[in-house]
Chains A and B, each alone.
Chain A
């Protein structure tokens, strides 16, 4: 069964600290993987896309990694800011279908 699992479910960190969010998937075939950021009460917005051949991709303070062998991805946030408080959703895309994780809710405290 195609599944995407994210951990932790929720996370609280202090402003300026780094954190890493995890995404494990059992999806086949694999086309690509995306991380979305969803602010409270808003729609998700794409942060980054990872294709099968990519290991690491950075977008400002966000760095996504992908290990296609172990079917794991991570999203690392550097020097967190209050505006990083949001839910982060991992989406795996096998052949034009979208499999969503349940998200990690991140809270950044001043």
Chain B
């Protein structure tokens, strides 16, 4: 059974803290994505990566960075968390032949 695993389902952090969200996929996919999901706004792309050590900015990269040191792992980093980064974060990878996105269970981050 294919799987995208996000390390933390729920996190509570304070303003200014550094936050790491980890994502691992076991499908040998080249492409991985980080989205945030907010009510009424749908999913918005933060960053994506099409290969190890390669990354591209999405639609809302400000305040975020990413790391892809290994093919299976894609990390999202909030250098200094702010309250407006309170959100649900979804990691995904895709099958290149069909374009199907496989999502993790999500990480709900609250920044106080």
Show the binding face of A for B, using Cβ within 8 Å. Answer: 31-32, 34, 36, 41-46, 49, 89, 91, 93, 96, 98, 100-103
> Which residues on B sit within 8 Å (CB–CB) of A89?
42-43
Take A43-B4, A46-B101, A96-B99 as given contacts and tell me if A102 and B108 are in contact as well, using a CB distance cutoff of 8 Å.
Answer: no
Determine whether B100 belongs to the interface, using a CB cutoff of 8 Å to chain A. Answer: yes
State the CA gap A98–B105 with chains docked (Å).
Answer: 19
Residues of chain A within 8 A (CB-CB) of B40 are: 102
Is there contact, CB below 8 Å, between B101 and A41?
no
Are A44 and B42 in touch, CB under 8 angstroms? no
A39 to chain B, nearest CB (A): 10
A36 to B92, CA, bound (A): 13
Cα–Cα, bound, A101→B105 (Å): 19
**Total contacting residues, chain B, CB less than 8 A:** 18
Instruction: Determine the chain A residues whose CB is within 8 A of the CB of B101 once the complex forms.
Output: 34, 36, 44, 46, 91, 98
* The 7 A-B residue pairs with the shortest CB-CB distance in the complex, in nearest-first order: A43-B103, A102-B42, A100-B43, A100-B42, A43-B105, A44-B103, A43-B106
Are A41 and B43 interface neighbours, CB within 8 A?
A: no
Partner of A46, one of B43, B100, B106: B100
Q: A49-B99, A91-B101 are in contact. List 16 more A-B contacts (CB 8 A).
A: A34-B100, A34-B101, A41-B108, A43-B90, A43-B106, A44-B90, A45-B103, A46-B101, A89-B43, A98-B45, A98-B101, A100-B42, A100-B43, A102-B40, A102-B41, A102-B42
Distance of A32 from chain B, by nearest CB (Å): 6
- Indicate with 1 or 0, residue by residue over B73-102, a CB within 8 angstroms of chain A CB atoms: 000000000000000001010000011111
